[in-house]
Amino acid sequence: MSTLGIAVIGAGKMGGDHIRRIGRTVGGARVVAVADPDGDRVKEVAAALEGASAHTDPAAAMAAPGVDAALIASPGPAHEESVLQALALGLPVLCEKPLTPDPAGALRIMEAEQRLGRRLVQVGFMRRYDAEYERLKELLDAGGIGRPLFLHCRHRNASSPSFFTSGMLITDSVVHEVDAARWLLGQEITAVTVLSPAPSGAAPEGLRDPRLVLLETSGGAIVDVEIFVNCGFGYQVQCEAVGEAGSARIGDGRAMVVQAGGRWGGEIAQDFTVRFADAYDRQLRRWVAAAAAGRVEGPGTWDGYAAAAVSEAGLTASRTGARTVVELVERPPLYR
């Protein structure tokens, strides 16, 4: 297999992590172009990569010689334009979540992909590649605990970035649980309710943190998500599935336990790039292999659109305090 040339769009934390991953842990690929609006930063990043070109324009990076695929890790509002540019060039795309901040943008990408007549876009919902999530999916698909009735989810961050807003608790954090629930259950989410306790004292002024998000599904299951982005103690993602004949839980962090000095304990990951490092590795390896073979696997444009539609309903529910129905267009044949 020839080496897949990748243009990485976005050289911040997520883009930088992917660049490191392509260079050290993923075979069959190399970064040949990098784009970022910060000209000094992108030059510095590209200079450390043999033969890579630096650009401030994503379209120029994707059109650079040797580019076979695009990895988009820029901020969410910039995703739509870059994905559409990649589609115009016929490039396979791995786009970090969210595909777009709103369902209207995702629909425009869906329309462009349908005009091509083939799928090229994968969305970076990496939990589908986590070993624990994969085992839970296999158990549910095999009927190991009977028909699923509930998913109880916890999503906690030690602290939130300075730019984080109350809406981003839904669009940037709970969106992971939205996709995981759809995938684990094989069902669409039909309605959203958001409940808010008094904000934590650790939450920055104006941030409604934590929140409890209730998701109803097309198969009659209920998903509850505790989202708490300033919990203080670390990064923690847990999911318990409760079925008619049993339950199964993942995310307890069963790692090395140390006993010394009259105490016992272990470590709690402080960052998603640590907790899901293996999932990111597996996601990128599989995407590279599929793209090199002319295939697209994993969560695609429909999944990105569905997640955006649920997020939009979640924002409405947050604002109004009312149960909000999720509106989805009919699923096109290309995504069935």
Same domain, 283 and 313: no
Q: List, for residues 39-75, the tens digit of each pLDDT value.
A: 999 999 999 999 999 999 999 999 999 999 999 999 9
Going by DSSP bridges, is the β-strand pair 69-72/263-265 parallel, antiparallel, or unpaired?
unpaired
Read off the pLDDT band of 253 (50, 70, 90).
confident
Do both 87 and 182 map to the same domain? no
- Is the pTM higher than 0.75? The answer reads yes
| Counted domains in the chain | 2
48 and 105 inside one domain: yes
Are residues 154 and 258 part of one domain?
yes
Q: Are strands 121-124 and 263-265 parallel, antiparallel or unpaired?
A: unpaired
pLDDT of residue 254: 66
9 shares its domain with 43: yes
Closest CA to 126 of 278, 280, 250, 13: 280
pLDDT tens, position by position, 113-164: 999 999 999 999 999 999 999 999 999 999 999 999 999 999 999 999 999 9
Q: Is residue 266 domain-shared with residue 117, that is, in the same domain? A: no
- Structure confidence at residue 199 as a pLDDT band (50, 70, 90): very high
148/121 same-domain check: no
One domain for residues 85 and 142: no
**184 plus 257 within the same structural domain:** yes
Q: Domain of 223?
A: 131-273+307-335
Question: Once rounded to an integer, what is the mean pLDDT over residues 2-13?
Answer: 95
β partners of residue 213: 194, 225
Asked whether residue 279 carries a pLDDT value surpassing 90, the answer given is yes
Residues 153 and 114 in one domain: no
Going by C-alpha positions, the residue among 57, 58, 59, 49 that lies closest to residue 29 is 49
Q: Which CATH number belongs to the domain containing residue 117 in this structure?
A: 3.40.50.720
What are the phi and psi torsion angles at 144 (to 5°)?
Answer: -65, -25
pLDDT surpassing 90 at residue 259: no
Q: What is the CATH number of the domain that holds 225?
A: 3.30.360.10
Same structural domain, 203 and 225: yes
Q: How confident is the model at residue 255 (pLDDT cuts 50, 70, 90)?
A: low
Residues 54 and 187 in one domain: no
